[in-house]
Amino acid sequence: MNFHGTTILAVRHNGKLAVAGDGQVTMNNTIVKHHAKKVRRIYNDRIIVGFAGATADALNLSERLEAKLERYNGNLTRSAVELARDWRTDKYLRRLEAIMIAADETNMFLISGNGDVIEPDEGVMGIGSGGTSALAAATALIKYSGLDARSIVEEAMKIAASICVFTNDSFTIEEI
């Protein structure tokens, strides 16, 4: 899945987690919103989710993930697997066009409609049209700078915004 119009970046570094999303919403080649919130906290503020894709679909998935978290007492791993299973097998859910990152104190997952529940090797994950640029920048910043997780996502998102025309520099950042 390749989504235009969003960059979401999650970084776990030195015991801290930061997740950032840009604020730009586009329809075709027109910017229709500059300050959208694509990163939010769910489940008693213990889980951070960031999403790319159709907004209504992403919000639907976020609500479904939160319901799974309620059912499985906040177990993000189990909830992510169950959501991905439902997403892949349910006739209605299969049509949803979104992808998400969900993270808590110890886990970070990319969850997709293909049934993917992927945990990164290095504690860095990027999705959306500028996700690869942000991921590359964050990986370098982790290796070659003394920055904390929040500063890494801020700087990496600035780099992605300077490269990807579907990404702006109005960021929402959540931390654990």
Catalytic residue ranges: 6
| Planar angle of CA 148, 35, 126, nearest 5 degrees | 45
Q: Which three-class secondary structure state does DSSP give residue 163?
A: helix
Q: Are 57 and 97 in contact (CB under 8 A)?
A: yes
Among 13, 2, 50, CA closest to 143: 13
Cα–Cα distance for residue pair 120/74, rounded to 1 Å: 20
